[in-house]
Structure 1
Amino acid sequence: MQARIYKPAKSAMTSGRGKTKAWVLEFVKNDAKRSADPVMGWTSIDDTSGQVRLSFDTQEQAIEYAKSEGLTFTVTPSEERKRLVKSYSANFDANRKQPWTH
């Protein structure tokens, strides 16, 4: 079985960074068969392992778990955001790189 290890990005709906600290291992199965329920119209799948998400504190723990279970896995490296530190007074600086808009 194949797994994917990654560090989740923050939600686009909030500015908070909650639930982005842990590494996640989730199972990937591309050949799972999906079918539509004729009565309700819901989509069902024959393999529920895609619903399992395991959280780990570090990337190494997730890799170690995948190796111990005999999983083939891919690791997606996390990209740390670049933080631009500015103060309010930088908006009125004489050496400002952007032109005034007012």
Structure 2
Amino acid sequence: MPARIYRPARTAMSSGTAKTKQWVLDYANETAREVDPLMGWTSLADTQTQVHLHFDTKEEALAYAKEHGIDAVVTEPQERKLNVRPGGYGENFATNRRGSWTH
């Protein structure tokens, strides 16, 4: 069963990095989704896609996949630059500002 190993990106709604440190192994869909004719819900016959395994390192995830005969594809994360301002948030309220604070 094919799987992918990746490190999740941060959510678009926050600037924090929670839940982005561990590596995740997800299984790929083996069958197509089916639409229930009565309710209109989509469903899958394969329950393996609900399994998300978390690992501390990429090597642990690869070792697990190799040990269990899983064909895994590793997706490397794109590292982002830190956006740290020199003065920080407190600079907005500094008493020694050069110009008047307008908003």
**Common fold by TM > 0.5:** yes
> Where does 1:1-102 land on structure 2 (aligned, <5 Å)?
1-29=1-29, 31-88=30-87
Using the size of structure 2 for normalisation, the TM-score is: 0.79
Partner of 1:97: none
Tell me how far apart the structure 2 counterparts of residues 84 and 14 of structure 1 sit (CA, whole Å).
14
Deviation at 1:20, TM superposition (A): 0.4
* Displacement after TM superposition at 1:41 (Å): 0.9
**Whole-angstrom distance in 2 between the partners of 1:85 and 1:13:** 18
Q: Which of structure 1's runs of 4+ aligned residues deviate more than 4 A?
A: none
Query: TM-score, normalising length from structure 1?
Result: 0.79
Letter in 2 for 1:18: A
Aligned residues, how many? Answer: 92
Q: Secondary structure at the match of 1:79?
A: coil
Distance 1:84 1:43 in 2: 41
Unaligned ranges ≥5, structure 2: 89-96, 98-103
Shift, 1:5, TM fit: 0.2
The alpha carbon displacement at 1:34 in A equals 1.7
For structure 1, the residue ranges without an aligned partner over 5 or more in a row are 93-102
Separation in 1, partners of 2:42, 2:84: 46
